[in-house]
Structure 1
Amino acid sequence: MQCPKERKITLIDGTLTEALAVKQCPDCKGTWIPSENYKAWQAERPHPKTVADLIPKTLDVEFVQSPLDAKAALCPECGSYLARVKVGMKTPFYVERCLSCGGIWCDRGEWDALETMGLHLAIEQLFSSEWQTLSREREHLAIEKQATIDRLGVELATQVFELAEVLKNHPNGDFGVAYLMRRFENFAQEVKPQNSEPR
Structure 2
Amino acid sequence: MELLSGAVQAAPAFPVLTAARAVCRLCLLSHGGELPHVVECVDAFLGALASKNLKSCYQLTHSLRAMQYVAARESGVQMDPFYRRWVFNDAVALVAANGDLGTLQWLVESYLPDEFLTKAVYYAAENGHLHLLEWLWEHHRDIGYWGGTELEGAILNGHVNVVKWLRVHAAPHPDSAPVALRAAAEMGDMALVQWLHDTHHGSASSVGVRLRDRVWTF
TM-score, length of structure 2 as denominator length: 0.27
Higher strand residue share: 1
- TM-score, normalising length from structure 1? 0.29
Structure with the largest fraction of helix: 2
Of structures 1 and 2, the one scoring higher in RCO (CA 8 A, sep 6+) is: 1
